[in-house]
Structures are given as structure tokens and as C-alpha cells.
Chain A
Amino acid sequence: MKQPKIIIVGGGLAGLMATIRVAEMGVPVDLFSIVPVKRSHSVCAQGGINAAKNLKGEGDSTWKHFDDTIYGGDFLANQVLVKNMCELAPAIIDLLDRMGVMFNRTPEGLLDFRRFGGTLYNRTAFAGATTGQQLLYALDEQVRFHESLDRVKKFEGWTFLSAVLDDAGVARGICAMNLRTTEIRTFPADAVIFCTGGIGAIFGHSTNSVVCTGSAQSALFQQGACYANGEFIQVHPTAIPGEDKCRLMSESARGEGGRVWVPKNPGDTRRVKDIPENERFYFLEEWYPKYGNLVPRDVATRAIHKVVFEMKMGLPGTPAVYLDVSHIPRDVLDRKLEGILEIYQKFVGTDPHEEPMKVFPAMHYTMGGLWVDNEQQSTNLPGIYAAGECEYQYHGANRLGANSLLSCIYGGMVAGPSAVRYARNLEKGCDSVSSEVFDRERVRQQDITDGLLHQQGTENPITIWRELGEVMTENVTVIRYNANLKRALDRLGELSERYKKINLQDRTQWSNQTLNFARELGNMLVLAQVIALGALERNETRGAHYKPEFPERDDANWLKTTIARYNEGKISLEYQPVDTSLIPLRERKYTAAV
């Protein structure tokens, strides 16, 4: 057959890596992104990327990285895949280094590594405290090179609406909307790779960027794609609470020696600096002596919740704890953490070199995502692939810090060639598909848009979104009770009804951001139900999913992957066994060495 055509949706780390791999194989790529790809959410990743290069003489190995990841994920991740990822990690770091990433260096000119949560090894390569930005830029530059050779065509400022599926349910392209002109068009492709990132907007205030709505995943889900482990939501322990978003304070602050504490006397009115060492409660160090401040995120988040809400020891006047780096020498901070300390200073106004930062947990990451098969990153819809945060496969019930950049790049590296292989083996390419298949989808999407533009409702999309965020954050994050989850599902049902009556205050057809947001909101409401339902059904505690009514991990009943399906407006759940072929199950506790 003739040269296949690949579409990639999403231009963050996973999407750009997949793009480079496909372009390298001589196959043309159409790359779709809502924002110019250089502005993708990957820029927000701060602390680093894990790879067991063992350059610190600690006896680290890819197997230990693998073991830490499985154990950190509470044994919910399929193991072979994680092992493959950890084994490739050192080569991925080398590749990024060759691409010019300004990683921090040792005096010998080698890559420097620091410690992150959930491990005892210095395994995290980093570029200051803006590692995600630096990695994204390196891949962006490589894609620009391929673009200059016409191997890649970018469609920036387009948003994905739906997949074009033929009568056999095979993907033949996508339907997308131009955010400037509101034109809706279909684009044929032999295979489509989704790298559409996180879902933070479903929780209102999260550490995610504005574009992380999960809209694309949800649209695919409603077209028949399976969604796995949706209930596993990572709440990052240390963020600055905010009106518009919660700004992350990287785990690397603790990796470089930062300490989390509260005054032993909750009413202490002295200046922070005047509170003597023995009157400070370093609760993570006390409760988890082996890992100290570097316990995994779910553990640290629950500990902070306990201190603030159960023990009533939060900082005066605000639900927060101190994250303190003020004891670390200034030159070390400037070399290794400048990016995040600058964020704190700009947005809060105090200088973390001098004063401890006030932080509180915030929704950060979804471990769950589109279901993909074992080796190919392919979804259950033929011709559709997924990589990066939008799929479920590498982090189990809790992701370790600095593994997300790795899984994005690894997933992209696998998905690109997989999609090309599939496309090359297709008997019938997208060019031989009847135009009726494309027209049908375009008309369906145009009707949805026209409906939104013309309906005269009473509900404001931003108001519904704010309430959605409140329902989800209150009931479906750190601590989960079944009664609350049921109530949350009822509320989501109500919000979905109200959504049908929304009124767009902008009915123009030029750069109408309200229209796009309204479309995304509809998809967010569906995915929110998947998350809440998965959480309600899973009666155990595992990783980030904590139910006080079921406080133990229950391997007999719940060592399984949740699979959500969508059928005529109804969400149903089923379960799949987990691959635990390499590392035997063991109790997960960070109080002592593993």
C-alpha cells in the first residue's frame, strides 16, 4: 500500500516523542494541539526524570527502579510493562542529553542525580526545577527540525472532537474544530495516537494547566474506548493553594533536603524563625523514619490531612503545613531549585530562602486513563493508540515522583512505531474509505456545536464547572466514604441535567472560547462519573485510593484493573486481572526499609 498517514493528538512530551519516532520512520505526521505545542502542560513538571544510571556508586539498578515503581503503585500496575520502561530509562536520559537538555552536571561533567519520593536512591536527573519544560523544549526543537523537512505538519489551535470510525468500528481519522474560525473538519488517518494528558480541570483547582480537561479521553470513551483505573487520582502533598489554580511545589524541594513540619503548639504565635527546633513537629520524619520526607505522595498527603484535620495542628488561620528549605545554603537552592522558589516568591510574596513555604495537598495527576493493551499502547478501538498521562498503564495505584516524564517519553517511543506497524499492515487505507463515513461524523459534530450556539438556556458553564470541581475535590480525592461518593454521583447527575440547559454568553463564530469550553465541560461531566463510580465500587484501600471504611489493601477481591465502558449513555464497570508475574505481592509500608 502507499505511505500510511498518522495523526497525533496532543503535543506534550508523549505526543512529541511519538511524532519524532514516526517522522524518523519516514511516515508523515499531522500533529494536533489546542495550544502551540511548546506551551503544553509538560512544561509544569518540575523535579526531574527517573533512570537508574547508578552514577552515584549506590548500587542502583533498573530492577530496583522497577521494584520501587511497582511497590509505590501498590501492585496495581501490570509488571512487564513497567519493567520494560525502567530498563529503557537510562537510554532515554542519554537521548535527552544528546538532544541538548541542560541537565545539571557534576564537576566531572556527568549528569547529576537527586533523590525523589518512594526510593532510597539518587535516581532523578534534573534541569534545575523546570525539568519538564526543558524536556518538552528539547523534543519541540526536534519536531521543529522534522517540520522544517516537511515530515510533520502542525495543526496548532485545533481541538479534537471525536474519532472518525467506519462501519466496522475502525478508526479512519479524526474530527476537529479550529479554535479561531470554529470550522469543523475531518482529517483522514490510518492510525491515531492520543497523547492528551491529564484531567485536572475535572477537579476545579488542581496543579494542571487549563487545557488538561480530559475532554479527548472522554470523547473517545463515549465512542467505545475503555477507560481503566479512573478512580486512582494522585493528590500531591505540597502545592500552594490558589484562586485560579494550585501551584505545585516540587517533591525535589524535599529531595534536596526540604523538611515538612508544623509547630508542636498549634497556637504558637512566634515568628516562624523563632520557633526552636525542639518545638517543631517533623511529622513525616517521625512517622516514617526510613523514608522521612520522601515517602510517596499518597502517604505524605494523608499524613498532612491527618495533621491538619484530625490532629488540628495546621498552621494558624489556614489549612496548611510548612515546607521548609530555608536551612539549605542559598547557592544550592539557586542551582537546583530556582524555578520553583521563584514561583513561590512571585505568587505568594515571601522568600522561601528565608521563610518556610506554606503548602497543602492538591489534585495533581491521574494514574487511570484510556485502557491500552500490553505491548503496543493500542486502545480497544482498532487504529487508536494512547501514550502519556491519558493512558493508565505504568503507575498502578500511585505514581512515584519523576516517573511521569519517563512514562510519557517511553509511551511515545512505543506508540509511534506501533501505530506505523499497524498502519502499514492495513489492507485498506483511510483513502479508500467512503467519504460518507467522514461526512457523517462531521455533521454529527456540527450539530452538537450548532445546538450549543443556538440554545437559549439558563445555566452558566463556568458555574457548573466550579460546582463540578467542588463536588469532586470534596468527595473523590484524599479520603473517600461510600455515602459521600453516592452523593457525589447524584450531584454529578444533577449537574449533567443542568448542563443540558447551558446558555453561551457568546454566540459568535470567531475565537469563541466559551463554545469550546462548553464542549469540554460536557465531556468532563462524563469522565467525572467514571472516576466517582470506580471509587465507589472499589471497597479497599490501595495507593492513592483511601477508604477509612475499608482501610486495608484487599488483594483477594481487588487486585484487579477497573475497566469502564460506555453504552448508550450508561457507564458500566468490569474488572481485569493484574500481571504480577515478576515481583511477588508484599505489604506496602514506608515506616521501615522494604
Chain B
Amino acid sequence: MPDKKVIVRVKRRQRPDEPVRWEEYELRYRPHMNVITCLRDIAERPVTRDGRESSPVSYEANCLEEVCGACAMIINGQPRQACSALVDNLDQPIRIEPLTKFPLVRDLVVDRSKMFEDLKLTKCWIPIDGTYDIGEGPRMSPSTQETGYPLARCITCGNCLEICPKVNEHTQFVGAAIVSQVRLFNMHPTGKLHAAERLDALMGPGGIEDCDNAQNCVKVCPKGIPLTESLASVNGQVIRHALKTWLMGRE
């Protein structure tokens, strides 16, 4: 019996300004293969299905267990993590493309630094006085923890931005991931002392108003984060904050 094969099509561009080319590869099937193993197989023998010598595909990957966020790409039309995309569950030929909402670097590598910059703009951290020993942190109810922890598992993969119709060249919308982080920090006992600063950051262009409630984000989140709840919660906070600022002036 001949070996079972895996057929993979990769959308490639060596540089952002070069034309796109699709390459098709035929790989030897093994149980439990994922898209990362496919890309590694190509790297070891970068010869296309029609026998042309090519080069290894550039891609980002690190933890390979869907907790670092690095390997987001579009696989068979869906933005998702390549490590958890198992060949057994994918229709062939498997089509692999880079995310489109971020600047392309090469092949499947894109530059997602905007997300980290937006975490900075929205002040997504807990201000502490210093790292010296000043005793315990604030008490927290188990229910607060159980609400906060799922939000804290966001891996900044960018899939929710990729699928969002309002993340495009005409807006600066920060996207659901960032809004959800604002919700997380605003619910923390210390973080909420500075909630106003984060809400201010979400009031201007690119802020929460850009969300038009398409609700695609929550469907592609690999961590199952309740992003639409976060968007609704922060939207409410921003409205109350705006009203309060309007009525009472800035504190």
C-alpha cells in the first residue's frame, strides 16, 4: 500500500513588496501531524509537488501547545493557531496563508507589534509601588478570580482582530483582545483604582465605539475567552465614565 500523503498549499511572498505565489507540497502522512509538522517537513525538503526546488517557509512558532500565541495564521480560511491545527481534522489540500490585518514580513510571518503597543496605550498593568516586600496583595473572592482568570489567558494571537470587520485600513480599532484586557485590569481590586485612565484611552478613535458588534471575535478565540461579554462590559464602563466626566468634570 502506498504511503498516505498530505497535500499542503502555502501562500508565499519573500518580501512584502513581492508578488504572491502559491506553492503546493506533498508530504508523508504520520499520525498526529499538525500544520507545524507540515512546515518542518517542507523545511527539511523544500521541493514543491511539481518538483521545483524552493526554500523553507518562514513562519512564527514557539510553544507548540497553544499558549504562546505565536503561530496564528489562516488555515483553510480560518484564522487559528497552527500548532493545534491537526492534519486529521483538516480538509485537503490544506491552504495556509498569513494573517491579513497585520503588516506582512515574509511568507507566514506578520508583524503584530501593534497589539503590544495598544496594551501600552491602554495602560494594561497593575500599578505597584515597587517590588520590595510590603506584604500581601488585596483579597479577592473566588468568583472574581473565576471571572478574571479566563480573561488573563489571552495569548495576544490576533485571531480576533483578523476576523473583525472593523479592524481595517480605515479604522484604528484596538480589537477585542485589548478591550478584554482593559476589562480584566479594571476588575482587579488594585487595577480598578486606575480604571478611568484605561477608559479614557478607549474613548477616542480606535476605541470601543469602533466595535459594531459583529461577534466574530468570540468564535475564533482559541482560548474561548468571552470576548463579547468583555466588549459589552467595557462599553458600559466607557458610557458611564463619559457621562460622569461630562456631568462632574474630570477628577
Binding site for B on A (CB under 8 A): 20-21, 24, 35-36, 38-41, 43-44, 91, 94-95, 97-100, 102-110, 127-128, 130, 133-134, 137-138, 141-142, 144-145, 147-148, 156, 180, 209-211, 242-245, 247-248, 335, 339, 343, 346-349, 413, 460, 462-463, 466, 505-506, 508, 510-514
Contact = CB atoms under 8 A, between A and B. Distances in A.
Contact of A43 (B14, B68, B119, B135): B68
Most B CB within 10 A of own CB, among A20, A98, A209, A247 = A98
B22 interface: no
Given A100-B185, A144-B125, A510-B14, A105 B142 contact: yes
A145 B106 CA distance: 30
A109 B60 CA distance: 40
Interface of B is mostly: loop
Given A145-B125, A245-B64, A511-B106, A102 B116 contact: no
Contacts of B190: 98, 100
B49 interface: no
A506 B56 contact: yes
Interface stretch (B149-157, B160-168, B242-250): B149-157
Contact of A102 (B37, B62, B149): B149
A230 B81 CA distance: 34
A105 B68 contact: no
B84 interface: yes
B66 A97 contact: no
Interface residues on B, range: 35 or more
Interface string B46-80: 10000001011011111111111110000000000
Contacts of A513: 43, 56, 58-59
B141 A105 contact: yes
B44 interface: yes
Contacts of A505: 43, 46, 53, 55-56
A141 B148 contact: no
A462 B156 contact: no
Interface stretch (B28-36, B210-218, B228-236): B28-36
Contacts, number: 188
Given A97-B137, A109-B141, A145-B127, A243 B32 contact: yes
Given A39-B62, A130-B67, A335-B146, A510 B140 contact: no
Closest 10 CB pairs of A and B: A97-B137, A109-B139, A141-B125, A100-B126, A511-B106, A506-B55, A91-B133, A102-B149, A39-B68, A462-B44
A43 B67 contact: yes
A104 B14 contact: no
Nearest to B112: A36
Nearest to A463: B44
Contacts of A243: 30, 32-34, 37
Contacts of B109: 511
A501 B60 CA distance: 27
B36 A244 contact: yes
Given A148-B120, A463-B44, A511 B58 contact: yes
B146 A210 contact: no
B133 A511 contact: no
B113 to A, nearest CB: 7
10 contacts: A39-B68, A100-B188, A109-B142, A127-B152, A148-B120, A247-B64, A462-B40, A463-B44, A466-B44, A513-B58
Given A95-B131, A144-B116, A107 B142 contact: yes
